[in-house]
Structure 1
């Protein structure tokens, strides 16, 4: 099966044992990597654009080294990839400084030909996020919505995670207007209570369920930090899956990204929603015990063996 991840991958700078290290990461890209590492039988495509600079070429090669299909990873002749630095506090909570205003990924839609769009209809599932929406050039958003509608009409399942980043938006209303449009088209939604609390001041999962009731999801997955994950199926039946909290938290940078990638991989390979959450939570719990967004491949292989 073919899974597409739409978004942006940037160069990542982080301190490890006092030394500044370079890597590559981005929310949907991280999900693409964790899906492929955990479910190698699935084809993981990253849908984005990079530049023609040396750093962009390194990122392209890194994607290939992770067995990510680069058919839809385009090269913009005049742009470059973005850059960010992670700052992590004693509790593992992170903050970021970004340099991404001239990122090639903002111009993704101008790089897609009609032939590319037709080829994308072969994807079985596509994930995009609030970050995917926020970085696109405003004038390209209508093209993006039309692309998603075309994919959905062709049978591709559409998945959306808000993953809200306030710094990327002019204001809350700008973000929520696009998020609600995304919910209209999504077959699967993966929101978090933290985002709804920030945007709508919701305090409970029940408020989220009520707010999203008018939308038609095949599966709703509501994340709430280390608390239970709430599942709502197409019939509106609600269930919870408890999580085992991790005590040795090092870096929470891509906990949600890892969760999404493994959840979707398990979902596509036929696991029950509860089993999908269990595998995804184990992956996220492992990832946050390591620095950076994408953990060492060898160490991660041991986790894959344990959850297979």
Structure 2
């Protein structure tokens, strides 16, 4: 395949309806539509920073599928490996608006087209055309087929000498139980190079408390870099020879916390692919995470390169 991609990712993009007014979802009458899904957020963020990104998924032959396909194309994301299903629908979700804290999210994704993504859909030449693979734990949660696809994609990229990043993106509601979730995610982590959990996620997955202990746990599993999100406080990173804390950016008003972790991943992955010093890559992650929480949609705050540089230069810690 002649096309070269900096990054490839896969997963379930969904149509999201987010409330335009506060209150219980069953009472809200007005919603705005947007594209949602952790992997599509990361793909969008990397594309806006001028990296070539391919996204692999299955969509339903319905208006939501068409909306998502157009939205991805509009962001300059390569969609040539997306297929459409007549049999299964595109997933969707609704999200509440809150004055503070996390919004309530309801998913309508059971038996979605994306959940049917399996080994038969794996295009080796397409993945081989990419230098890096980004994976989230959500794919493994939505179906056994997607879990198989995740394992195969990660192993294929590792064997091909590519780098793999993994964000656990824990969604307990999608798993049969906490132990299955932790065991599966930790098993997947052994197949990645860069592991990017939140502190709360790290504690759930390992039973350990301190960022240093959690990072050491994953380095012992063979991961080469662990970057732990600490929310407003910033982040902690550890590799075999480097470790440290990077302070977060001050945010004037938190509008919506959803998508902040994906923004953080965009910063770290793009920084590492651009060969920035590790600390600078993590600082970029903090910056994009901060931008993400200041906007309502999951992807609205993801910056262009110019917007990112302006934000970093303007903001003092």
Q: TM-score with structure 1 length normalisation?
A: 0.90
Show the counterpart of 2:12: 8
CA contact (8 A) 2:219 2:225 kept: no
User: 2:145, 2:284 → 1: CA distance?
Assistant: 39
CA contact (8 A) 1:16 1:291 kept: no
Show the counterpart of 2:215: 209
1:227 equivalent in alignment to 2:233 = yes
Shift of 1:36: 0.9
Query: Relative to 1, partners in 2 of residues 1:170 and 1:205: Cα closer, same or farther, differing over 3 Å?
Result: same
Shift of 1:211: 2.1
User: 1:284, 1:106 → 2: CA distance?
Assistant: 28
1:239 equivalent in alignment to 2:250 = no
User: 1:143, 1:4 → 2: CA distance?
Assistant: 14
Show the counterpart of 2:107: 98
SS at match of 1:159: strand
Shift of 1:111: 5.1
Q: Deviations over 1:125-169 (max 9, x none)?
A: 11111112111x215534542332122111221111111011010
Show the counterpart of 1:256: 261
Aligned residues: 301
SS at match of 1:185: coil
Match 1:120 to one of 108, 118, 127: 127
Match 1:20 to one of 21, 31, 45: 31
Shift of 1:110: 5.1
Query: Relative to 1, partners in 2 of residues 1:99 and 1:92: Cα closer, same or farther, differing over 3 Å?
Result: same
CA contact (8 A) 1:2 1:123 kept: yes
CA contact (8 A) 1:74 1:111 kept: no
Show the counterpart of 2:177: 171
Larger deviation, residues 61-70 vs 86-95: 86-95
Q: TM-score with structure 2 length normalisation?
A: 0.88
CA contact (8 A) 1:81 1:104 kept: yes
User: 1:294, 1:146 → 2: CA distance?
Assistant: 28
Q: Deviations over 1:235-262 (max 9, x none)?
A: 2432111112313101011000111112
User: 2:292, 2:146 → 1: CA distance?
Assistant: 34
Superposition RMSD in Å: 2.1
